[in-house]
Structure 1
């Protein structure tokens, strides 16, 4: 499996790399990045693996702001199929090279269609895990959307009150 940096380099997508204290949740990653590198916390995204279908499984990545919560109802409506979060066991089986909580926002690398929440699209850059707890990358969102093969912008989060 190619590395996140290798995948981006093959597609001529510039990335900035960050080393930080180990973090396997989006909130902990955001806190570490803000503390160590003074990044804008709104640039950090959470990457979730969704499973749709009971018998013919279909997988999707959901990319949402790190500080927001996924709405399964909203995500299911946007995708057009009933979805659930993948289990840790399913994630380990599909991506043994990737630490839990550290999926990169690269559907092309993972060979999975990806849905990006519109709130993420308000950012010029996004920061996400590079597959391991102490390593993240920052990329231009426009560049990423242009090179990724199967991307759709759809609502995934609860509506803020």
Structure 2
């Protein structure tokens, strides 16, 4: 069960959260619409390679990653999007593309967009394409200790 590792971790740390089941959806914008969660509060995890090392870029569903800005802010020599074949083995208990933004559970760095860090609550995929977890951003930040940077831009219509 993909969500077990995450729920065990949250429970062990006495974190208040809710689980939200929804109809099958594969992209963050669809999930936001289905669950009636504002796109700014739904976190999507984008896998990137920074100087060849896998990392998570976490941003609101309604935003886009500015890769050049992230590269500049991290001081990386190279930064590129990772393809699914490069990271799917790192999350064996998760459906591809539904990994939660808890890089600390997978020994990888997490970069969070400043625009997401401004929210009181966040919701994110819980390892499947039909389940979310919603919790206080402050709890997420305390557990994951992400690097917060301004690397996202609002999606235009």
Matches within 5 A, 1:1-161: 3-34=5-36, 39-53=37-51, 57-81=52-76, 82-148=78-144, 150-158=145-153
Ranges in structure 2 where 5+ consecutive residues have no aligned partner: none
CA distance in 1, matches of 2:63, 2:125: 17
Q: State TM-score, norm by structure 1.
A: 0.87
Q: Is the 8 A contact 1:5 1:15 kept in 2?
A: no
Q: How many residues align?
A: 153
Partner of 1:5, secondary structure, is: helix
**Deviation by residue 1:75-120 (Cα, 9 ceiling, x = unmatched):** 1112211211111101212212211221201121222111111100
**Deviation by residue 1:15-64 (Cα, 9 ceiling, x = unmatched):** 11000011121111111111xxxx333211111111122xxx31211111
Partner of 2:124, secondary structure, is: strand
Quote the offset at 1:159 in angstroms: 6.8
Ranges in structure 1 where 5+ consecutive residues have no aligned partner: none
Q: State TM-score, norm by structure 2.
A: 0.89
Partner of 1:131, secondary structure, is: coil
CA distance in 1, matches of 2:97, 2:26: 5
